[in-house]
Amino acid sequence: MTTLIVTENFQSAFEQYISQDQIAPLFVLGDARFVLKELPDSSIDCVMTSPPYWGKREYEHGGIGLEKDYRDYVRHLAEIFLELKRVVKPTGSFWLNIGDSYQRKNLLGIPWRVAFELTDKQGWTLRNAVVWNKVKSGMDNTTDRLSNRYELIFHFVKQPKGYYYNVDAIRSKPRAAKVVNGAVVSATGVSGVRYRRQIELSTALSEQEKAAAYEALDAMLAEVAAGRVADFRMIIRGQQRTTHSDREKVSGRAKEVREKGFYFLRYHPKGCKPSDVWDILPEDTQRRDLHFASYPVDLCRIPILATCPPEGVVLDPFCGTGTTLYAALTLGRKSVGIDISRKYLELAQERFITLL
């Protein structure tokens, strides 16, 4: 199994790649503006990419990012993303990592300018704007503003409903309950002792409500012991604040507290889903002497696991050193990478030698 760099007849190379079993990535040398036009309609499940940033870095072959006016940069990117919309399946997703730039001290808000082009003019639906917290900042000698530590990753879909999204594939595994001194204790230490005491001492619950609360608490602990509920919190009238609001118009929970005197918050048995803030250290190990803008493999895991079916195809139209494709292969998905630079594609190929 080897990786291939295709330099012409992209359409037939793509069709052949899609029809075969092997998942080693297909590399395409060319300008994304032209290569994408050769890909068939609705053929890609998931796009994950990071285009050159405006005015920041010069790559081998110039092109996108070197426009004098940032508005031309936004327009050029939007043209490419419109073509992407054609090649993405109706159930597909587009994840875009894009950095911001300053001009005459003014932060331009480029990511959002691009996002609004896509939602307002091209009809994409924006599902998340993820903050990639890089945890540590790069060198910054400015003395009149804060250092920049995050970038944005947008998740767009072609249609607002019915797109592929496997939330269970990205949940963090729930920690198991344990038994301490013969009593079940949830992963976060809930044993029911404190709730039982609160019910007992409550002046806000009637005797009948107290009996019902004890019974419900025992039933909930039995669910935890049986592994059907990962964890829980109990909200008791007069003890804990009602979720969202105490006002019944705002919170259905408030009604439950008024009528019954208590309710439970259950943790999902399959674990928590990730939030839209990701703490991921930037990639320092990927040959930064040769390519200055590779992103970490971990950045691609959630997009691929959640929005590319196992038998699907991932595309990165600005693939650079092939990080997206590397992640796709390790997660068992086919992938196609386009880059204008042969040097970067060869560097990308090198990364796969150990995997293939």
Summarize as ranges the residues that interact with ligand SAM (CB under 6 A). Answer: 31-33, 50-52, 59-60, 63-64, 291, 293-295, 318, 320-321, 323, 338-341, 344
The CA-atom distances, in angstroms, between 156 and each of 76, 109, 168, 333 are 18, 18, 19, 20
| DSSP tag of 272 | B
Q: Cβ atoms within 10 A of the Cβ of 336, count? A: 29
Q: Which residues neighbour 41 within 8 Å (Cβ) at sequence distance 6 or greater?
A: 86, 87
Smallest gap, in angstroms, from Cβ of residue 332 to ligand SAM? 20
CA–CA gap between residue 64 and residue 203 (Å, rounded): 68
CA–CA gap between residue 117 and residue 114 (Å, rounded): 5
Smallest gap, in angstroms, from Cβ of residue 283 to ligand SAM? 7
Smallest gap, in angstroms, from Cβ of residue 303 to ligand SAM? 12
CA–CA gap between residue 57 and residue 334 (Å, rounded): 30
**Judged by CB, which is closer to ligand SAM: 71, or 258?**
71
**Judged by CB, which is closer to ligand SAM: 87, or 340?**
340
Does an H or E element contain 19, and which? Answer: helix 10-19
Smallest gap, in angstroms, from Cβ of residue 95 to ligand SAM? 11
CA–CA gap between residue 88 and residue 118 (Å, rounded): 14
**Judged by CB, which is closer to ligand SAM: 262, or 318?**
318
CA–CA gap between residue 307 and residue 341 (Å, rounded): 28
Smallest gap, in angstroms, from Cβ of residue 99 to ligand SAM? 8
**Judged by CB, which is closer to ligand SAM: 27, or 163?**
27
Smallest gap, in angstroms, from Cβ of residue 292 to ligand SAM? 8
Nearest-CB residue to ligand SAM?
Answer: 320
Smallest gap, in angstroms, from Cβ of residue 323 to ligand SAM? 3
CA–CA gap between residue 307 and residue 327 (Å, rounded): 13
Buried b (16+ CB within 10 A) or exposed e, 265-293: eebeeeeeeeeeebeeebbeebeeeebeb
